[in-house]
Structure formats: structure tokens, C-alpha cells
Structure 1
Amino acid sequence: MSSESTHNSPADTPDSADENGTTADNGTLRPPGAPVLAPRPVYRPHVDSHIAHTFRRPAGQSGSFASRTGRSGTEPTTTPKGPPAAVLAEAFGRPPGSTELLQRDPEAGTETPPVAGPADPWRDPDAQARLGAPALQAPTAQEMPQAEKLSARQILFGSRVAPRALLILAALALAIALVGGLVGRLTAETASTLTSRKVSLEQSDSEQPHGPIAQVADAVLPSVVSIRTTVGENGATGSGVVIDGNGYIVTNNHVVSMAAQDKSGQARIQITFSDGTRTPADIVGRDPKSDLAVLKVDVKNLTVAELGKSGDVQVGDAVLAVGSPLGLSKTVTSGIVSALHRPVKLEGEGSDTKAVIDAVQTDASINPGNSGGALVDADGRVIGINTAIRSESGGSVGLGFAIPVDQMTEVAQTLIRDGSIHHPMIGVSARQKTVANEVMSGAEVADVQPGSPAANAGIVEGDVIVRVGDREVTNPDELVVAVQSNDIGQSVNVQLIREGRQVDIPVTLASD
């Protein structure tokens, strides 16, 4: 006997027999003593009689509608059908006398009968698609029927209104038009009570002279110019004041510093006068430490501004600010002098200006573009050059600052004469400090330059400067203003606090 054995699955042999012929339980037989269940009742759903009548087989049809072939290959038995209904034969039948088929006979030969006319892909599948002649030919002019021309009465009323009625309608329309014209005439005469062609408005000439502000503005405007500086595609605007008939114009250094620092040769400075005349300008000289510059134009017969004196200016004096704020030339704003000797530090991005000016403060509106313009008094005299504003938003809030006319005159005169200018210096850097039992402030010396006037005079780090000459010092900006208000080589008394004691030290100022 071979060692191999054959295994059959339960699906092949539900039982297996042992050597004695007894049947073994392989798990598929009912266990002995198991209860026998009754057959499950057949559930037949209710069939509605109307649905059964609608969807039942036709009369004489039994079994499936599909064709069936017997095991012997014989054709199925079909029930003979009668002729089609007359309505269907008329709707779907061929026209009388036509023998044309809707499709080719599958048992016919491969040759396709010729198609009359151009190739038609709908009739001949082997034909190439093309654009053929229209199915219906347009009728020619001779074939088109000639219709009878209609009259206006036929078009409007369809020949259903008699000519007499038309005359009556025309008369009625004419009467309505006459009544409407009469009503319009009466309405127009009523409206004439509100409007009139007889009224003529008269304007009187002013016999009173213009106010003082208008007179000052009229006198000062011709001497104030607009300045535009360009370097390539970048530009800046400002103002200037004609200070000499030879063509010299004073302005702020930060207005022209962009052109002065350009090395590409593309810088241009253009001056526009109050009458609209434009001309180029050249830089005569500039001073970053006072934020002043002088330009020159080749123009004759200029209107020169009248210069005043700083000693004549008092707080409360009426003033006008003249210039080109925001690019708006010939703009005049009015206000008063709100403070004098206000130290203002000037530094700006894109400019080499680094100055502290002893400014005239005014509440006249000053905006970007006013820089370099004139601040004039009630007599039309220039008392300052508008330079800066103080604002958290960047716009005018009534705090404008101008360089005093005395400082402008000195710097401009030196620049016209020499092309450059130098300032006195003491040689210290300082920070604000409160001394004397918290009741006095000064400028504490943070650093002393070796060999400077301060170092030579014995001023050391930690000293608190409270006065220079006749000017009190309370912060580092006032120290700069106080030193620059003196002359180079002049000896001034510097009062300071050292270790709680007041010390006076003479210092000889040197040039920067």
C-alpha cells in the first residue's frame, strides 16, 4: 500500500466509511435525537388587481418574452402577430410608392448602390463627410408669390375700422393736442411767478483797501520760489527766498543735500518763480550744521525779499509762512510767534544735516515743502527760514520752527563769500543731568576730546555745565546752541557744577 493518501473535501463526499462499512459523522449530519422543524410557510405578497391588469402578459402569451432554443437546436416557437394598427402604419410606414430602405440589408452583397446627388455620410457610411447643397433650394424671385400691398388702415386696424371712424379719431386727437397746449401755456405763466428774466444781479466794487495780510502776501510772494531737486527718478521739493538781486537764493540744506551728494552727474535743481518762470540753479555752498544752503540762478531783475532783525521779534507778533507746502506753490498761512530761542535738533534720513538751531517757534501751518520758505512779520520782512515741524502724525499741528534771520544772514553771507563756513566748538559730548537737589538741570559731560578747548580749560567727565556766557544751559541741545552763538577764538565763561560746588572756568572756543 502506498504511503500517500487521498483527501476529499466534505463537498465531494459528505460521509466517509471505515473498514467495517459503518458511517462516520463528519459534522454534516443531523445529530441523533434532534427535533424536526416544520417547513417554513411560503410568503406570497398581495398583488393589486389594477397593477396586475396593467403589467400582465398579453393574451395568448405564456412564459418568458425572450426567445428560447430547445436542446435540439430548433427555432423557438413564436406567436403570429396580426397586421399593425392603421395609425402606426400611417405614422411609421414608407411613403406611397417608395422602396427605399432605412438601412442596408445585412444579407445583401457588399456592393453599395450609388447614391443620387453628392456623397451623403448619413446614407453612405463609406463616404467622406463634406458640406453639401442645402436640402431645400431657396425660391427664386419669380417663384415667390406677390402679396397685395396693405394700406395704413389695414395695418393699424385690420380693415375693421371704417374711414369715417378714422376721421373722428383724428379730430379727437387734434382736440386733445389743443387742450394740452392750452394747459401748458397756463402752467408756464403760473411758473413765471417764481422765475424771471428781468432780474439782473449786480456786483459792487470794493472801496476799502485789502487787509494787511493780503498786502504783505502780495509783496512777499514774488521773492519766494519753489525748488525741485531730482536725481534720476528720485525727487524732492522745497522752497527758497531770493536774498540778492544777483540771483542768490537761500534755502535749507536738506532740500538740496540729495543733489549735493550725488556722484553720478544726474542731479538737477530747478527753480520756479511766482510768475511760473523756471530756470536751473547751482549750489553756491551749504552748511549741514545750520541746515542752510545758498543757490544761484542766472536771472536778472529779481524781486528781493526784505530782511528783518531777530532782535525786533517778540512772542505774539503776527507772522506769515510763505512757501510751497506739499508741492502747492504760492501758499500763505498766518499765525503768531509762539516762542523764541527754542533749541531744535535737526536730523533726517537721506540728508547729511546734523544741526541744532535756536529756532523761532510759530503756530502758522507749516508742512513738508515749506522748508526753505520765508517766515515774515506784519511788515513783510523776513524774520526766519521755515525749517521743521514737530508732529506725531507727520502733518502740521501748529508747531513750526524757523531759523532766525540773524543766523541765516551770517551763514548765507559767509557761504556767498567763501563757499563754506566753520562754527565754534568746545569739544565735549554731553547728556542731560539734574543737579542741586533736583531743582537744576544741565548738560553732564560724558566725554572730553583730547586737545579740545574743554580739555585745555580743565573740564573733566562728570562736570555738569549749567551756563555758557550769558545763556543758561539745561540740556545738551542748549549747550550746542549756546556755544555756537559765540565767535571762534572768543573766550567765554563756562559755569558748571563739580562735586556739588559751582565752578566758573573760562574757555577759548576753537573752530570745528
Structure 2
Amino acid sequence: MLRAFAPAAPGQRGLQEPPSGRPGRRRTATGPWWKADARSDPWRDPYAPAGLGAPAVYPPSPEEQSGPIVVDDRGRTKVRLRDLSVRLSALVLLAVLLVGAIGGGVGWWLTRATPESPLLSPGTTLTQVDPGITREPGSVSAIAAEVMPAVVSIEVRVGEAGATGSGVVIDGDDGYIVTNNHVVSGADGVDGAEIRAVFSDGSGSDARIVGRDPASDLAVIKVEKPELVTATLGESDNVAVGDPVVAIGSPLGLAGTVTSGIVSALERPVRLAGEGSDTNAVISAVQTDAPINPGNSGGALVDATGALVGINTAIASLGGNGTSGGSIGLGFAIPIDTVRDIAEQLISTGSAVHSSLGVNARSVTDGTRDGALVLNVEPGSAAAAAGIRERDVIIEVAGDRVGSSEELVVAVDRFAPGEEITIEVVRGGESQELRATLDAA
């Protein structure tokens, strides 16, 4: 580096001459870029001497500056309040107060200039919209409008005690109303007891008991009121799980209450024991999730056509008795075929007849098979004549499986007294088939 760029001889200034020894061509005054100060310009002439200029000049610090307006090291202008004069400070404060006073005065004037509107406006009518609502046939509202006149509230009074339930008009010409036995049984044969039916139009009529059937929890009462609206009776064979249904009655004393749901099960064996009544029944119930509460007893369960498919009679309750408590989404109704059969017998004779096998049983299981264990056999009964013994386990009636004592009662009740049926029992670990002719109960 030294050999390449050092001056050729001591005392010589500038860069070394080229290796060829020929100095570069110097600019002349006639050259296009030559100026009088070219010799002193290091960017134009490499031989020009270098030198330092004057030192940088910095503004004084804010502490060294006088007055309220100063410039900091970065060239920013600032106001120093401590250097403001008393007069200027007073002017600024006065200006702020003046602006505030003007703004407040304008706001006050505007509120005073605009009067408040009157609190009351007589004769005001709100805008009404008539969307033209249409209720299709089969809707819950249409079903309720059709069936409601045939559903009544039943009020029972015995001395100082009272109870309420529901009923359904099944013969409007003669004033026959079907309800639950446990609704009216407390007033049967009691002096001074009163039963009153209240209709959907608010009118009422005294009622008399035509007949009761504790074995099915059904009863028929009669009112002396002409031209009643009669419910249309359906058929149990037309009811399927999942069908929409509507429950109508007087739950908790609230007349004309409508709830809806579906049929959630069919042929559900349910044991009924009404509080304060002689009801002791096992029914093959229509199960529904339509909300049912105390007071719905005896009311209507109708399908999407408005046909009566059951009489509401019980609810599943956490209390366990099925007659008290509130709805938990499981209600039970007596199927319409049973209602029709029992009601016709009660209207004709005042009582109803059921088939009887003549055994007392309880539900049992061996882990693989369920049945009804015979606890005792009534002497001279159909079971005794058929050879059924105590400790036998009944597992089948007329080809239908029996898995509990409730299912045994329901299975026997399907047949009329005097009919002969086959009964399969397990005795000593072996099954055998017996034949029994049912008695009347």
C-alpha cells in the first residue's frame, strides 16, 4: 500500500504519479468543468490541500434561553409556563372563563326556549297491524277450539273439604260425562256431598254419580243440561308412538288449560292407587310427555284430529305415588277402547265386570328372565282349577310375555270372563303350559 500510494519523494504532496511516470492531464481553464476555485476543491482536484472548516454551532440550552418560548436540543418549540407574565396568565384564565360562561349561557337559553311536551295525550291510538293469521287444521289452537267445549271442570265438596278434577262429555244428549273414579269416589254415598260440573262457557250444573269402577279408575256422572257438545271418540289401534297429542283439563284448578306433546309409549302397565279413594287398578296406559298435573285427572287426551284417545289419570312423580307432585314429563292416560267399554257398562248397569285369574303375585327376575311370582291362589278360582300353585312363576299369558305382576293383571284383563286362555309357568326350574277359564270379578 505504501509503495503504491505514497508520495514519490520526500516533501512531495498529493498522490504518487502513475507507474508509467506520466502525470495525468491537468485540467485547464478552458476545460468544461474547470473553475477558478478548482485548485482548492478536493473533489475536483486530488492535489488540492485538505483543511477543517469552522466548528458546528449549537443553539443554547433551554436553561440559557430567556422568555416563555424556548427551543430544545432537537429544535422543538416549547412554552415555559414559569416565564409567563402575570398579565398573560390572567388573560388566558379570563379567556377560559369567558368561553365557559358563554357555553353555559347558550345551553341554559336553549333548554328554556324549548318547552317540555305534555305528559298525557288524551285520545292517542297506537298503530295496529293485521297480519291475517291463519290457523291450519290440526294445529294445537284448532284442536283446542274444537275439543274445549266438551271438557268440563269437576268440583267435589264433602263437608269442609273440596277437590277438583276434569271430565269429558261422552253423551251430550243425555248429559253423561266420564272422569276418574278417584275424582268423585269421596262423594259417593256421603250425605251433603256435592258434585258440580263447570263448562267452558262458565255455566255449571249439579252432577250425580252414575257408576264407578275402582278396578279401572273410571267413573261416569250425569248432569241435567241439554245439548252438550260431545267429544269424538277415537280408537286405540290408531294411536302410535310419536303421534302428537293434546291434553285438556283443569290442572291445579286452572280450567281450560291446554298442553301438548307426543305419545311416548303404549301399553305401559301402571298401578294406580288414588289417595283417599278406593281405586286399586292396573291399566295398560298411553304414556305421553304432554305436561299433566293434579287436576288433569279425568280430562281429555286427544290426537291431531281432535279425537279422544285417552282419559288422563296419573303422572310419574318423584314422590312415587303418581297422584301428587308436579309434571316431570311423564303422564299416563287410560286408552279410549277401555274407556268406551267401561263407560258403556257403567251407563247400562252402574258397574263394570273384569276378568280374574284368582292369584296374588309380585314381580321377580332370575337375572335372565322376568315374571310374576304367585304368592297365593284363591280357593275355587280359575287359577286353582287350572292347577297353578304357590311359588309358580307365570311368564306368559295367551302367548304374550309377562315380566311383572302389573303385566299379568293387564294381560288377563284383555279377555272377557268365561274365556279359556293358556298360561305358561316355571315350576322347579322347568316350564309347563296350563289352561284356565277366567272368572268374573
TM-score, structure 2 normalization: 0.71
Q: What is the distance in 1 between the residues matched to 2:142 and 2:371?
A: 45
Shift in Å, 1:181: 12
Identity of aligned residues (%): 54
For 1:43-58, what aligned pairs fall within 5 Å after superposition? none
Whether 1:339 and 2:265 are equivalent positions in the alignment is yes
TM-score, structure 1 normalization: 0.61
Q: What is the distance in 1 between the residues matched to 2:228 and 2:222?
A: 12
| 195, 203, 221: which one aligns with 1:269 | 195
Match of 2:183 in 1: 255
May I ask how many residue pairs the two structures share in their alignment? 326
Partner SS for 1:281? strand
Match of 2:417 in 1: 488
| 347, 355, 363: which one aligns with 1:424 | 355
Whether 1:391 and 2:317 are equivalent positions in the alignment is yes
Which AA in structure 1 matches 2:184?
Answer: V
| 328, 353, 370: which one aligns with 2:296 | 370
Shift in Å, 1:199: 9.2
Q: What is the distance in 2 between the residues matched to 1:355 and 1:378?
A: 29
Whether 1:295 and 2:224 are equivalent positions in the alignment is no
| 228, 239, 263: which one aligns with 2:166 | 239
Shift in Å, 1:496: 1.0
Q: What is the distance in 1 between the residues matched to 2:112 and 2:231?
A: 67
Deviations 1:246-297 (A, max 9, x none): 10000000000110152xx110000000000111000000100000000001
Shift in Å, 1:470: 3.5
> Structure 1: where are the runs of 5+ without partners?
1-178
Whether 1:307 and 2:237 are equivalent positions in the alignment is no
In structure 2, the CA distance between the partners of 1:271 and 1:207, relative to structure 1 (3 Å rule), is closer
Deviations 1:463-487 (A, max 9, x none): 1101111322111111111111110
Partner SS for 1:403? strand
For 1:95-134, what aligned pairs fall within 5 Å after superposition? none
Match of 2:439 in 1: 510
Which AA in structure 2 matches 1:401?
Answer: F
Q: What is the distance in 2 between the residues matched to 1:372 and 1:284?
A: 15
Match of 1:216 in 2: 143
Which AA in structure 2 matches 1:466?
Answer: I
Deviations 1:393-441 (A, max 9, x none): 5110001000000000000000000111121101111122224xx3111
Deviations 1:436-476 (A, max 9, x none): xx311100111011111111111111111011113221111
In structure 2, the CA distance between the partners of 1:187 and 1:364, relative to structure 1 (3 Å rule), is same
Q: What is the distance in 1 between the residues matched to 2:160 and 2:401?
A: 47
Match of 1:30 in 2: none
Shift in Å, 1:379: 0.4
Whether 1:403 and 2:334 are equivalent positions in the alignment is yes
Which AA in structure 2 matches 1:251?
Answer: T
Q: What is the distance in 1 between the residues matched to 2:128 and 2:274?
A: 55
Match of 1:186 in 2: 113
Contact 2:135 2:141 in 1 (8 A): no
| 194, 204, 208: which one aligns with 1:282 | 208
Shift in Å, 1:208: 2.7
> Structure 2: where are the runs of 5+ without partners?
1-105, 320-324
In structure 2, the CA distance between the partners of 1:184 and 1:339, relative to structure 1 (3 Å rule), is same
Shift in Å, 1:348: 2.7
Structure 1 stretches of 4+ with a deviation exceeding 6 A read 179-182
In structure 2, the CA distance between the partners of 1:308 and 1:455, relative to structure 1 (3 Å rule), is same
Q: What is the distance in 2 between the residues matched to 1:257 and 1:199?
A: 55
Partner SS for 1:465? strand
Which AA in structure 2 matches 1:259?
Answer: A
Contact 2:182 2:275 in 1 (8 A): no
Match of 1:316 in 2: 242
In structure 2, the CA distance between the partners of 1:296 and 1:188, relative to structure 1 (3 Å rule), is same
Shift in Å, 1:306: 0.3
Whether 1:358 and 2:289 are equivalent positions in the alignment is no
Shift in Å, 1:201: 1.9
Q: What is the distance in 2 between the residues matched to 1:198 and 1:234?
A: 50
Partner SS for 1:333? strand
Partner SS for 1:307? coil
| 129, 138, 152: which one aligns with 1:203 | 129
Whether 1:473 and 2:402 are equivalent positions in the alignment is yes
Q: What is the distance in 1 between the residues matched to 2:128 and 2:359?
A: 72
Whether 1:499 and 2:433 are equivalent positions in the alignment is no
Whether 1:462 and 2:388 are equivalent positions in the alignment is no
Q: What is the distance in 1 between the residues matched to 2:178 and 2:327?
A: 23
Shift in Å, 1:202: 2.9
Shift in Å, 1:383: 0.4
Which AA in structure 2 matches 1:487?
Answer: A
Which AA in structure 2 matches 1:335?
Answer: G
Match of 1:444 in 2: 373
Contact 2:218 2:342 in 1 (8 A): yes
Shift in Å, 1:209: 3.1
Contact 2:265 2:288 in 1 (8 A): yes
Q: What is the distance in 2 between the residues matched to 1:470 and 1:374?
A: 33
Shift in Å, 1:350: 0.9
Partner SS for 1:188? coil
Partner SS for 2:114? helix
In structure 2, the CA distance between the partners of 1:183 and 1:233, relative to structure 1 (3 Å rule), is same
Shift in Å, 1:204: 1.5
Q: What is the distance in 2 between the residues matched to 1:186 and 1:496?
A: 100
Q: What is the distance in 1 between the residues matched to 2:410 and 2:128?
A: 60
Shift in Å, 1:210: 4.9
In structure 2, the CA distance between the partners of 1:244 and 1:433, relative to structure 1 (3 Å rule), is same
